[in-house]
Every structure is written in structure tokens, then in C-alpha cells.
Amino acid sequence: MSDGDLRVLLSSNSYFSILKEMFPFKKPPRVFFDNMTPIPCLPREIFLTDTTFRDGAQAFRPYRREEILTLFNYLSALSGDKGVVRWTEFFLYSSRDRAIVKELLDLNYKYPKVTGWIRASLNDLKLVKEVGLDETGILTSISDYHIMYKLGMSREKAIRKYLLVVEEALKHGITPRCHLEDVTRADIFGCVIPFVRKLMRLSEKYGLPIKIRLSDTLGLGLPFPHTSLPRSIPKLAHIIVNYCEVPSEYVEFHGHDDFSLAIANSLAAWFYGISGINCTLLGIGERAGNTPLEVMLMFYVQITKEDIDLKIITDIANYYREKIGYAVPEDKPLVGDKVFATAAGIHADGLMKNPEVYLPFDIQEVLGRRIKVFVNDRSGRAGIAMWINTYFGLTGRNRIDKNDPRVIRIYREIMHAYESGRARPYSDGEMLALIRKYAPDLLEEISKRLN
């Protein structure tokens, strides 16, 4: 135990570990290093899991029935026969929650599997049996911050409570998924490992799997193998799989993005032995959000080299915009309006010569998206020409060149406006008005080119 640990004695056999040196609270968290470095070990199988309708809904609003059905169908399409998105989870507390779970079960889709989420309570477990689920997540808060401050229990009492509910689930043929809440502030050797080993003994006793979710509840995890526990995700992954002997396919990582590391931590979890990464669509989740499913899906394809119809990602984002009414951030990776857009003339010039210059992949082929251009004082003639070509869909020999005299006239007008104090980009409507004013023949020529 480090000098900075504050252990509060509750009885002769019970203590708490509050890591004040690492988490001083009055100041930002501290990073420590050690000489223990686990070896990367990508599991034989990797997959994604979903908590859009549980953790995601907590930070957004309740999803309507038709929205859940539509998004669930999208998740099923992404999952395919291999179960790329292996399961999704739901609260069971309201009659509305239970009704939608039963409706999804009646669809009889193979993937994603419909699972529940409950507290470590026998009364909550009754809800799982009531709706007919054969798997549920169980909240097993594991840090002493939660056990002492939230539950007001000793470690021993909390662990006994968790094990009681887990064993009861196993007796009824229900697969428990134990969510180790706040594991990145937990006592790994004094609490986490002993608890997980007890879970594995119960799994052997009943012949049913017990799954483990490592929940980085406050986004405090770090993706580096040489940083110290409990913050090192590589070390946590290595310990759970190798020291606790939990099969990789029964472990998942649940990240939050408080320090913009949810994706990096999720990748580290994969690379160091964890099969499942728990995500939400568009990363919608509490506080700074969760690991975004669409980004991890893109990495899944990069790692496995499998062919998946990633255009569904664009369909999902458009559904959120147009039907759900969610304002997708313009700079959101893969799905934001401005992610594959440019206003820089030098970028536009490179893109017109060869899109591979400034694009990581063919966005039309992979995501069903087109390059967008918005014009400002940095766009230059190349940016204006590219706006025209993109807006009207001109390709090959039909494209307008940046040296076209009409493009030059429009460019001069735009630069005059900015020199006179304009600050905002030009809208599509304003660009069309400039074309009508300075190059009326261009519209007629474009029409002929397209025909």
C-alpha cells in the first residue's frame, strides 16, 4: 500500500482504500508509473456490445418505441450472423421498459441479444425472470468510493450481497454479467481479484458462464501498459484474463470519455485480451459520453479485415438527425456534417487532383457520403471550383477548373466581401446567387454537361 492510501478501519477484518495520492479530488488526478508491463494479446475473437438504451438513454431522453425498434434493426444489420454487436441491454424497472423488451424478444433476432440491467437485488432479479431474459447485467460496484460512500457497507457485506444475487441468477439458468463499477479506482489485489475468483468458482459450480464488465465509470482509465493500477487498462485486462482466469469472450470493457480516452482505452482493452467493448450509438452517454459504437466498428473492420456494410453508420446518424431530432455534432468522427468537408483551398486543390491526398478512404464507397465544401476567405479558387463540382456532382471531364474565368470573378467578389468585414462562410444559397450574378452561363453549361 502506498503512503497516499487512506485506509479506514471498520472492523478487525475490514478496511477501505481511498486513493488520495492518485485522486486528490481538490486537484486533477495524478498519473503514476511502474516497471510491470503486460504483453499485448489480441483475443481470438473480438466484438462490440451496446448500451444505447440503458447508459445512452440516461444522458439523452427516453427513446420512443418506434425509435428503439428502428435502432435495434440497425444494430441487427450491423451484427450480421457473426454477432459483431453481440448484445444490448435494457432497464426493467417500468412497465414500458418490460413491454419493449418482450417485443424485441418476440422478434427472435439472433443478434444483438437482448439483456437486462439490474442492481444487485433479489427483487430486481425477479424482473429478469418476469420478462423471460436468460442474461442480465448486475451492478456490482467495486471501488471503495462506491462501497463506502454510496452503499454505506463494508467490503465483506457488499461482496456477500453481490454473490447472493449472482448465485440466485445461476440457480434459475440466468447468465450474470457483473458490472465492476468504478474499477479504475478500485483496490485490484485486495478486492477485485478475490471477488472475480469467487465468481469463477460459482461459474464452475453451476456450469454457466459469468461475464465480467470492467467499467471505467469516470473515464479515469489510461491506455498505457506502463502506467500503474488501477488506471492502466492493459494491466486490468491482463489481470482479469490471466490471473482471474476469465475467458476473454466473457470480459468486456465499458468506457467513458471524461478525458477523451474512451476510444483509446477501448482499443487497449482489445489489444490486451478483452473480447467485448461496450458502446453507445454516437457515443451518447453520461457526462462526456461513452465509447462510440460507430468508431469502434470502424476499428473492428480494420483489425479483422471483415466486410461490413458501414453505410449503415450514415443511415443511423441521419435517423438521429431527421427522426429522433438529435443534433449530431458537426465535428463528430465519421458522422458529423463537417468531418469530410473542407474550406481550405490547398485541401480542395489536392482533393480535386486525387481524393486520396486528403481522405483516409473512399467515403462514398465505405460510408455512402460525399465530400462537402464550404466557402470562406481561405477557400481560394480551388475551393470555389470544388464547391461547384461537388454541389452539381460534376466528375471527370465535366468538372469546372479553378482557372475558369467565371470562377475567378466569383472569387474576387468573395474576397472583396471578406475584406469589407464579412466573417461567416457562404451558404449554398449564397453561392448559387453568386453564380447567377457573375456566371449565369455556367448554370446552362452545367446542365448541358450533366445531360
pLDDT exceeds cutoff 80 at 12: no
- CA 415 to chain CA centroid, Å, is 41
Give phi and psi for 222, each to the nearest 5. -125, 140
What secondary structure does DSSP assign to 205-242, as a single string?
Answer: HHT---EEEEEETTS--B--TTBPTTTBHHHHHHIIII
Closest CA to 82 of 104, 106, 108, 110: 110
Report residue 16: phi and psi, to 5°: -120, 155
Q: Are 303 and 295 in contact (CB under 8 A)?
A: no
Instruction: Determine what percent of the chain is predicted with pLDDT higher than 70.
Output: 93
91-144, pLDDT tens digit by residue? 999 999 999 999 999 999 999 999 999 999 999 999 999 999 999 999 999 999
Band (pLDDT 50/70/90 cuts) for residue 359 is confident
3-class SS letters over 350-384: HHHHCHHHCCCCCHHHHHCCCCEECECCCCHHHHH
Whether residue 187 contacts residue 225, with contact meaning beta carbons closer than 8 Å, is answered with no
Q: What was the pLDDT predicted at 347?
A: 65
Q: What is the pTM of this model?
A: 0.88
Question: Which positions ≥6 away from 365 have C-beta within 8 Å?
Answer: none
CA torsion sign for 303, 308, 310, 316 is negative
User: What backbone torsions phi and psi does residue 309 show, to the nearest 5 degrees?
Assistant: -75, 90
> How would residue 238 be classed by pLDDT, with cut points 50, 70 and 90?
very high
Q: Which of 77-81, 83-87, 217-221, 382-386 has the lowest mean pLDDT?
A: 382-386
Q: What is the rounded average pLDDT of the residues 236-258? A: 97
What is the per-residue pLDDT for 399? 85
DSSP 63: P
* Gyration radius from the chain CA atoms: 27
pLDDT band at 450 (very low <50, low <70, confident <90, very high): low
Residue 364 has a CB neighbour count (10 Å cut-off) of: 14
For every residue of 172-199, DSSP letters joined together read TTPEEEEEETTGGGS-IIIIIHHHHHHH
Average pLDDT of the chain, as a whole number: 91
Among 139-148, 373-382, 419-428, top mean pLDDT goes to 139-148
pLDDT of residue 87: 98
Please determine, for residue 389, whether its predicted confidence score (pLDDT) is greater than 90. no
pLDDT of residue 352: 60
H or E stretch covering 9? strand 5-11
Would the pLDDT of 7 be above 50?
A: no
Please give the pLDDT value at position 299. Answer: 98
pLDDT-derived band at 11, boundaries 50, 70, 90:
very low
Among 117-131, 306-320, 324-338, 388-402, whose mean pLDDT is lowest?
Answer: 388-402
Give the three-state DSSP class for 288.
Answer: coil
pLDDT of residue 451 exceeding 80:
no
How does pLDDT run across 196-223, given as a tens digit for each residue?
A: 999 999 999 999 999 999 999 999 999 9
Inter-residue contact 205 to 165 (CB < 8 Å): no
Angle in degrees, CA 41, 184, 168, rounded to 5? 90
Long-range Cβ contacts of 337-342 (<8 Å, 24+ apart): 337/372, 338/372, 338/374, 340/369, 340/370, 340/371, 340/372, 341/371, 341/372, 341/373, 341/374, 342/371, 342/372, 342/373, 342/374, 342/383, 342/386
Assess whether pLDDT exceeds 90 at residue 292. yes
Query: In whole angstroms, what is the distance from residue 340 CA to residue 417 CA?
Result: 26
Residue type, 404: D
Q: What pLDDT is stored for residue 45 in this prediction?
A: 97
Q: Which residue has the higher pLDDT, 161 or 347?
A: 161
Domains of the chain: 40-324 (3.20.20.70), 341-450 (no CATH)
pLDDT value of position 400: 87
Tell me, what's the pLDDT at 8? 35
**pLDDT at residue 370 tops 70:** yes
**Residue 448 pLDDT greater than 60, yes or no:** yes
